[in-house]
């Protein structure tokens, strides 16, 4: 759609910056600003075609700075994050190489942007917008080196806070290279289980690693359900889980059943195993959670126990 551009877009541009200082959430102002930037930008060739709006390099740099300034006190403003994305879409979607040397200045831009996001996450490690933007970058550039580096970044975050659910989610995304159609091969799943268990050990009450743990196993279940590899994986997982519980009981002198997320994960595993003994253990655990250990969710665990009982019969 062709919109009228003004006679003096530079002046209009200045005005938008002023208006945005008053209200950085005014999406019409942002959009109008982008119209001005686009009308002042000259694409590299006369027949340049792109599905994204073209902005010249200096405008991109300048407006990223503007967005950073406005974003500072408004880290959860959708329009500011969207502006960043709009500015970068053209450059990032052009990256087809995985070679660091070939990508040049765009790679620099990528690194700067990832650093910017890391800065925002430093202030609030669970800022949903920041994570969405980060995921968008990793997916659109799709560079193996960046995926690998991201695991390191996630590990650092988990060192700082093993309960950071956003970091756990990012780990899932990165391990799957941003796509649900790239599940863990079973050997990799085993290795990943080791990592997860090591983290779960730090605080067995922590929900996040146990959810991740169950998701790993369920993914394999969906792929290779009754294969010997799966049976072996599940046994390994169950033993690892039991070990965490025992170690916890030994060290804390507390009842491992208190770690309700650990027990919930165990119930899920037993359900997947599906044999009579496993199912009746699962029912027992659910009843214990209901009657004693997870009072807030007692109605839920009662239902779960009933459902498991039906399967067992």
Partner 1 sequence: HLDTNRLTLLHFAVHSLDILGFFDNDSNLEYYGVNKQYIIDWIYSLQTYHSKNRALRIEKSRNRNDVENNESSDSQYHGHGCGGFKGGTFLGFTQNINMTESESFHQYEGFKHYDQGHIAMTYTALCTLIALGDNLEKVDKPSIIQALKTLQLQDGSFQSTYPGSENDMRFLYCACAISFILNDWSGVDADKAVEYIRACRSFDGAFALIPGQEGHGGSTFCAVASLVLMDRIDSELNNGDVCGSSWRDELIQWCVSRQVEGMQGRPNKSEDTCYSYWIGGTLHLLGCDHLLDKEALDQFILSCQTDMGGFSKLKNGSIYPDLLHSFYSLAWLSLSNSNVDDDTSIS
- Rounded least distance, CB 129 to partner 1, Å: 9
Interface pick for partner 1 out of 237, 264, 286, 289 (rule CB under 8 A)? 264
Stretch that binds partner 1, among 106-114, 190-198, 214-222, 244-252 (CB under 8 A): 214-222
CA distance 237 to 246: 14
Residue 185: other Cβ atoms inside 10 A: 12
CA distance 228 to 218: 15
76-105 footprint of partner 1 as x/- string (CB under 8 A): --xx-xx--xx-------------------
Asked if residue 1 binds partner 1 (CB under 8 A), the reply is yes
Interface pick for partner 1 out of 13, 16, 24, 241 (rule CB under 8 A)? 24
CA distance 203 to 243: 13
CA dihedral 288, 262, 267, 255 (to 10 degrees): -30
CA distance 307 to 295: 19
Could you tell me how many residues of this chain bind partner 1 (CB under 8 A)? 60
Q: Which residue has the tokens 């600003």?
A: 33
Stretch that binds partner 1, among 97-105, 148-156, 211-219, 239-247 (CB under 8 A): 211-219
CB 163 within 8 A of CB 208: yes
Stretch that binds partner 1, among 7-15, 184-192, 215-223, 283-291 (CB under 8 A): 215-223
Asked if residue 299 binds partner 1 (CB under 8 A), the reply is yes
CA distance 84 to 57: 13
Taking Cα atoms as reference points, which of 243, 210, 230 lies closest to residue 272? Answer: 230
Binding site for partner 1 (CB under 8 A): 1, 3-4, 23-28, 31-32, 74, 78-79, 81-82, 85-86, 126, 128, 131-132, 135, 139, 163-166, 169, 172-173, 178, 180, 206-208, 211-212, 214-215, 218, 221-222, 225, 261, 264, 268, 271-272, 274, 295-300, 303-304, 307, 311
């Amino acid at each position: 759609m062709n919109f009228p551009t003004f006679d003096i877009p530079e002046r209009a541009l200045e005005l938008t910056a002023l208006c945005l200082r008053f209200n950085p959430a005014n999406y019409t102002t942002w959009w109008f600003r982008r119209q001005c930037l686009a009308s002042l930008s000259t694409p590299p060739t006369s027949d340049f075609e792109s599905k994204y709006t073209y902005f010249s390099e200096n405008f991109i740099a300048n407006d990223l700075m503007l967005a950073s300034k406005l974003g500072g006190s408004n880290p959860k403003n959708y329009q500011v994050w969207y502006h960043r994305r709009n500015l970068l879409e053209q450059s990032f979607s052009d990256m087809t190489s995985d070679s660091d040397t070939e990508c040049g200045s765009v790679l620099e831009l990528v690194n700067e942007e990832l650093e910017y996001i890391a800065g925002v996450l430093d202030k609030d490690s669970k800022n949903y917008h920041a994570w969405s933007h980060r995921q968008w970058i990793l997916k659109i550039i799709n560079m193996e080196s960046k995926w690998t580096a991201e695991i390191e970044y996630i590990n650092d975050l988990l060192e700082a806070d093993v309960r950071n659910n956003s970091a756990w989610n990012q780990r899932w995304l990165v391990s799957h290279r941003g796509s649900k159609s790239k599940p863990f091969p079973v050997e990799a799943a085993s290795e990943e289980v080791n990592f997860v268990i090591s983290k779960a050990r730090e605080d067995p009450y922590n929900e996040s690693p146990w959810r991740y743990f169950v998701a790993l196993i369920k993914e394999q279940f969906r792929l290779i359900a009754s294969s010997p590899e799966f049976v072996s994986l599940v046994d390994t997982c169950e033993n690892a889980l039991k070990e965490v519980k025992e170690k916890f009981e030994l060290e804390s002198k507390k009842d491992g059943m208190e770690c309700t997320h650990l027990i919930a994960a165990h119930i899920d595993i037993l359900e997947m195993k599906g044999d009579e003994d496993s199912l009746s253990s699962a029912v027992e655990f659910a009843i214990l959670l209901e009657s004693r250990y997870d009072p807030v969710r007692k109605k839920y665990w009662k239902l779960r126990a009933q459902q498991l009982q039906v399967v067992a019969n």
